[in-house]
Amino acid sequence: MIGKLTDEQIEEVLYRNIVGHLGCNDERQNYVVPISYVYDGKSIIAHSLEGLKINLMRNNPNVCIEVDDIKNFNNWKSVILWGQYQELTDERDRYYAMKFFVDKLMRLKISETAAPPEMIEERIHPRSPGNLKPVIYRIIITKKTGRFES
């Protein structure tokens, strides 16, 4: 049976997962990329190094995110969010966002490449060596929808 997720089921999918697919564009090209995230009940919080994704969101803050919870081909839940990109520049906001991120992820086994930048003393990027300050951002959710099959 295919159906529509309730608001409560959508919330459950968002809280339970930590990986989603972010979609952004600059009116010429679409770009979809996986991100690690945490959900605070109102927004998606994530971080990244500067690059195409951040540049696209700075130029067009309208984005969408897909989060899937797949057990098998006939048993899945999928949530789509639409929202606005907001870069966190205030040091206090950045600190609390990353603390929330790390607190949730510390309960999971984290690979070195998925660890938040503040957990690594010096993070080296192959295209730009040296210390890199991550971009910490949130997606303020404006619309949610979800579907399921079971």
Q: Tell me the per-residue pLDDT of 35-69, one tens digit each, with 9 for 90 and over.
A: 999 999 999 999 999 999 999 999 999 999 999 99
CA distances 113 to 76, 85, 129, Å, are 27, 23, 15
Residues of the chain with pLDDT under 50: 125
Nearest to 137 by CA among 44, 40, 28: 44
C-alpha to C-alpha distance for 145 and 126, rounded to whole angstroms: 38
In the chain, where the domains are located: 2-149
Q: Which of 94, 106, 107, 105 is nearest to 137 (CA)?
A: 94
pLDDT of 96: 93
Q: Looking at the domain that runs over 2-149, which CATH code has it been given?
A: 2.30.110.10
According to DSSP, the residues that pair with 46 across neighbouring strands are 137
Please tell me whether residue 101 adopts helix, strand or coil conformation: helix
pTM confidence score: 0.82
Give the per-residue pLDDT at 79. 98
